[in-house]
Structures are given as C-alpha cells and as structure tokens.
Amino acid sequence: MADRCPDCYAELPEDAVWVCPACGYTLRTPAVAKVGIVFMLLGVVLLGSYLVGPENLGLKTGWMPTELAEFTIANYAWLVLGVLGLGMALVIAGAVKLRVERAAVAA
C-alpha cells in the first residue's frame, strides 16, 4: 500500500485500505465493482448483438441444441437485461462497500 494519499499527500496508517482517513479519497476500487463493470460491458456487447438480431448470431448452426437455441432467441431481451442488471447490482454493491468504509473512517 502507498505511504501517502495520492490526493492530499497525508501519511496513511497501516489499516487504511479502502479510503484515506484525512480526505476520504478512494484508495482502491472493490473487486465486486470491477466485476460489475465487466458484466455491464458484456451487456453492452449483448445489446449490440440484440440490435443485429439474435436470429443472425448462428445459434441454430448445430453447435447448440435446437431447443436451447430457440429458447435463447425467444428470451434474448431478458438475457440482455439480466446481464446489465447484474452488472449494475454489483457496481452498486461496490459503491455501498465504499460508503460504509467512508462512514467508518469518518466516525
């Protein structure tokens, strides 16, 4: 861990992991928020493929069982919304973790 805060240059104690106790600067982004960002990027890619058309993705070429391919095509919008929603929920969880840490440092 860094010896000084990159924002206010105050010396950091050994137990300062997430937030600078002097200025409240975020020292580390929680891993759950990073995973959430990856899921949201995946959701954007899926949204782009949804705009192209799920029928044009080649799901019925034989590498996937026909029933599963038809189910995926029929529910593709829910898949996109689910992935985006999961990503948002994970980012919110990371933000809540940081908010709790900031409140603990401020108290």
> pLDDT tens-digit profile of 29-48?
899 999 999 999 999 999 99
What is the predicted pLDDT for the residue at 28? 87
Cα atoms found within 13 Å of the Cα of residue 107, Cβ hemisphere only: 6
What is the predicted pLDDT for the residue at 105? 81
Band (58; pLDDT cuts 50, 70, 90): confident
Q: Per residue in 4-27, pLDDT tens?
A: 888 899 898 888 888 888 888 888
For the chain, give the mean pLDDT. Answer: 90
Share of the chain above pLDDT 70, in %: 98
**Structure tokens, 2:** 């860094």
Closest CA to 97 of 38, 36, 47: 36
Q: Span 82-106, mean pLDDT? A: 93
Band (2; pLDDT cuts 50, 70, 90): low
What is the predicted pLDDT for the residue at 62? 87
Q: How far is CA 39 from CA 81, 102, 105, in A?
A: 11, 26, 30
> What SS3 state is found at 26?
strand
**Structure tokens, 87:** 């990503």
